[in-house]
Each structure stands twice: as structure tokens, then as C-alpha cells.
Chains A and B, each alone.
Chain A
């Protein structure tokens, strides 16, 4: 008999998928602008540039909208969870086991912080590129280096994320949490025992 525990709220899942959709949109259009071979193949640079820039605007706007219209308290609680590293998290990062983890393991917490920072940096450097094309006051020689560098690092993080979510046998069960919202209880007890215990103890689904 297998039970499922609710891991991600609808708001959290909506944020995730908005982020995912926007990332692929921006990556696709960005690579057309960045890679000469794709630039030649596709052409239409002014159009692709507009789509890229407005996807960026849409990305941030959609994130803000979901956060405002969704479960704000829940998101704040999640943000506090992601922010806090307890002794077990530090042990987990140092690979000193056992290090029982909560709803997020320490790696996921780090990934969340990095992605939040990257969002800010992508936004700032993208805006600078956009405005810099029109006004020298916003033009810095290093803006493209930052924007491109972020892309490479974010791409590496994405590859790792996709591997863990889709392929790695020990972690791919978590995918269900981001689609349906729930994860297998047995898996949760093994990988996120502090959360699974707490969940069962007060038996109160987190929404």
C-alpha cells in the first residue's frame, strides 16, 4: 500500500512551471541571437530580439503575478525553509551522514538561492543590454560577459536539475511532486525524513 504526501502547493508548482517555460523560451531565442550558425539559419534578428526581451519581461511579470495571486503565506514559509540551514544540512553538504533532511535538502536550498540570484542578475544585465542599445549611460563593456556567463552557469544547473528530476534513480520520484503535487511516502521517509515525520505526526496536509 502506498500513500502520497503533498509536497508542493499549486502556487509553488505554478511558479516552477512559469519559470521553466520562460527559461526555455529565453534560452531558445537567446541561443539564436548568440550562436552564429543559428543566427544564419533563422535570420529575423530584430523579431527574435523582441521576442527574447519581451519573454524576459513576461517571465518576471508572470512570477510576480503568481506570487501575488497565489498562496503568499505559503511562499513566505517556503522561502524561510529554503533560507534556513540547520546542523543536518551542513552535515549533508559535507557528506557526513546520517544527515536527515527536511522538505528540501541542502543542495536544493543552495540551488534555490542561486536561481533567485540568477533571476536578479539576468534581469539587470538584460535590462542594461536593452537600455544600453539606446543610451550610453547604460552601456558597460562587461554586460555581455555577465549575461553570457550567467547563461552558461544556468545551463549547467539546468542539466543537473533535469538529470536529478528525470534520470537519477534515487531522486526521480520527486518529479511527481512538481506535477501532481504529491510524492510517495516511502520515498519521502527515506530522503526527507524530517519533513515526512512531521507531516505524518500532525497529519495536516500542507497546501
Chain B
């Protein structure tokens, strides 16, 4: 296919093959966006975030995607709901929702990272520190890990004891100033901002102290147990946006 390169001058000049050009450029642009899409999108959504937050009630997703692994989401009944902490503990704990709310309150602002690539910045979480609950239950010396059980069967996940003791690990019952919504794991979910979302177990119903960490739901399907944001699951780069609000030092991070 040889086409004249110069501007056609007479009626005899043949047609230009623009169609394939548009096709190839679009495909090439789209494929290359696999390399730059997320960071550019981060800048764009960062630039328009004042606009976006004023539009937030009308935006379809708020940046979240709701992932579930079973056919229906668990329902929360305030009268019967319990959080149980057991196995390798001195004093097994069983808390009602109201007893949970009566515990010392903690809150943080952090960015939520999904392993599939989306993030939600500056999420306000409120709830209780995991360490406060562990103090109540008094883990036995041989307890080396925690198994988090979701009411959404068969979802479970694990943290090692040292991961669970990180300063900003919490159990959240509020998100952005409102009680946790059903799709976000009502009434209680685990929050560990340093790790991808699949470690942040929703619809938390129990915590079992165990000797060593096993494989959680997604880890049995090949995801990393130590799901550090930007340093696991095939990602090696640092996250494109800071994980916390600027100025949120670890000490200011979880406040009572």
C-alpha cells in the first residue's frame, strides 16, 4: 500500500488511510496507559478533588468498589451481634455492639489501597485500637498470629502478632463520620492501612489467637500473606500518593 505523502493536489490524489491510524494510535495509547494511567489519574483526581468532594453525593462510586466473595452480604443485627476473641488467650472476650462502642474511641485518616490498583484517599475511620482489645483478652505467650474471621463465609485472614501491633491497626465501626455501611463491612472491619484491602477484613465477627499465621482467603488463591502496599503482590514501586494526610505523624495518627 503506497500512498502519496504530500498533500493531495488534484482530484486524482488517492484517499488517505486515516482509519487505521486512528485505530492504531488509540490501541497504542490505551496499552501504554497501563504504564502511566494510575499516576496520571492520581494527579487528575488530586487536581479536581475540591470539585470532586463537593460533587461527592452525586458521584456514583466515591472511588470505592465493593468486593465480596459470597452470594450475599452479611446482615447486621445490633441485638445479637457479638465480637468474639478466643483460642490462645487467657480471658476469652465476647463483646456486644454497645460494649464495643463503650470502649476507648480511636480514629485515623488514611488512604485505602486495593491490590487491583484503585485507591481511596483520606478515609476517616473511627473505632477501637486492636491493641486495646488484645489487652483485654490477654494472649498466651505461644500466640504468634491472629486469625480474623468474617461473617462472610468463608472469608478469613491472618496477621502476625508484630503486624497486628502496628500503631495504626484498628477495628473500625465508623467511616467518614457515619456508622460503617453494610457494603463496607458493617458493623466492624479491620483497618491496617499499610496493607492492601484484602487484609482489611470486613464484617468482622471473630478474632482467634493462633500460634502462626496461615493463608487467608485470597492468599489461598495466590496473593501475598504480607500484603504491604507497594511492596507485595508483584508491585515494587512506592504508592503514587502518600498513604496518610500530610503532617499525620504516627503519634497524631490514632487519636482518642
Contacts and interface: CB of A to CB of B under 8 A. Distances in A.
B22 A43 contact: no
A89 B20 CA distance: 15
Interface string A113-146: 1101110110011001100111111011111111
Contact of A136 (B17, B35, B233): B233
Interface string A85-123: 111011000000000000000000110111011101100
A143 B31 CA distance: 9
Contacts of A129: 116
B116 A44 contact: no
A149 B24 CA distance: 18
Interface stretch (B49-57, B58-66, B155-163, B165-173): B58-66
Given A85-B15, A87-B13, A139-B233, A145 B20 contact: no
Interface residues of chain B: helix, strand, loop or mixed (majority): loop
Nearest to A39: B66
A134 B234 CA distance: 12
Nearest to B182: A40
Given A46-B71, A87-B8, A117 B26 contact: yes
A83 interface: yes
Given A85-B18, A109-B19, A134-B221, A145 B66 contact: no
Interface stretch (B36-44, B88-96, B103-111, B132-140): B36-44
B72 A43 contact: yes
Interface residues of chain A: helix, strand, loop or mixed (majority): helix
B213 to A, nearest CB: 20
Contacts of B24: 117
Contacts of B61: 34-36
Contact of A83 (B19, B62, B233): B19
Nearest to A136: B234
B118 interface: yes
Contact of B68 (A45, A141, A145): A45
A114 B26 CA distance: 7
B17 A84 contact: yes
B117 interface: yes
A63 interface: no
10 contacts: A39-B68, A83-B18, A84-B16, A85-B16, A85-B19, A86-B16, A132-B116, A134-B221, A141-B235, A145-B37
Given A36-B64, A84-B17, A113-B26, 6 more contacts: A85-B19, A121-B27, A134-B221, A140-B117, A141-B235, A142-B38
Interface of B: 8, 13-20, 22-24, 26-27, 30-31, 33-38, 41, 60-62, 64-73, 115-118, 182-183, 221-222, 233-235, 240
